Structure formats: structure tokens, C-alpha cells
Amino acid sequence: MAILPFENDTNRFELTQEIHQELLKELPRALGVTNAGEDAADAVVQGRIVRYDLTTPLFRPGVEADRVDVLQRQVSIRVEVELIDLVENVIIWDDRTLTTQGQYLEEGESEEVGRIEAIELLVQRIVDGAQSNW
């Protein structure tokens, strides 16, 4: 199986490498396949990172009337992904709206914590989708 780096439509260029590394680490193990170059592979995983959003799902009014205390932030990543059987030339599985979220506490944690969680969930959903049609 060839796992190609995802195209990236966001301004968060590190996502391409972070998602690719996690896919390389988890997908072959979970599916029982080996990594191969695209020219030698029987199947390929490819995709596009469509969105990266940072939101504030948990906050409360601050002590001052014009202030808000942020308690938690959320990272959302949306991708389009497909698994293609190169031998039969068919799409085994695809998802055009795969979205995951990762949370982190405003106080004491960084955005990276939420991003890592969102990427791990993203890869798990790709594994689940691939296994459903494998």
C-alpha cells in the first residue's frame, strides 16, 4: 500500500507531515499491509486537508462585564480521503467530509495537544473506514 502525503488547502503546512507520519505509523499495522511506493503498490491512500479550525466551545462570562474567560478550545480538521485498489482500478472506500476534533484546556495546554488528538482520531476513522471495505 502506498500512503501519499495529503494535499493541503489550509495555511497550516505542518498538517501534511503530521497526518502523513501518523498514517505511515498506524495504517499498515492496522490493515496488515506493508508500505510500498506508488509504482509498486496494489492500493493507495490519498487525500486533501480541506479545513483547520480553532474554536472555543467552553467559556464563561468573566468578572468584568466586557470579558469572557475561555476554559477550553477545540481544533477541528476536515479532510477528503480515498483508498483506491490499483489492481482493479476501483475506489475501495472514500469520505469527502471526514471531520475530527481535539480539545485542549486554555490554561496549561497548547493547541498542539488538540491537534495531536484530532489527527489521531482522523487516522483511526480512516482505519475504520478502510477496514469496513477491506
Give me the domains of the chain, ranges plus CATH numbers: 2-133 (3.30.160)
In the numeric block, the cell 500500500 is attached to: 1
Residue-wise pLDDT tens digits, 41-59: 999 999 999 999 998 866 6
Q: What is the pTM of this model?
A: 0.88
Residue-wise pLDDT tens digits, 80-98: 999 999 999 999 999 999 9
pLDDT in the model for residue 30: 95
Distance of alpha carbon 52 from alpha carbon 9, whole angstroms: 9
**Mean pLDDT, to the nearest integer, of 76-80?**
98
pLDDT band at 35 (very low <50, low <70, confident <90, very high): very high
- Is residue 22 classed as helix, strand or coil in its secondary structure? helix
Residues 15, 77 contacting (CB under 8 angstroms): yes
Residues 103, 77 contacting (CB under 8 angstroms): no
Distance of alpha carbon 2 from alpha carbon 127, whole angstroms: 14
Average of per-residue pLDDT values in the chain: 92
Give me the amino acid identity at 88: E
pLDDT at 134 over 80: no
pLDDT at 71 over 80: no
* 76 contact partners, CB below 8 Å, separation of at least 6: 51, 52, 53, 54, 55, 99, 100, 101, 118
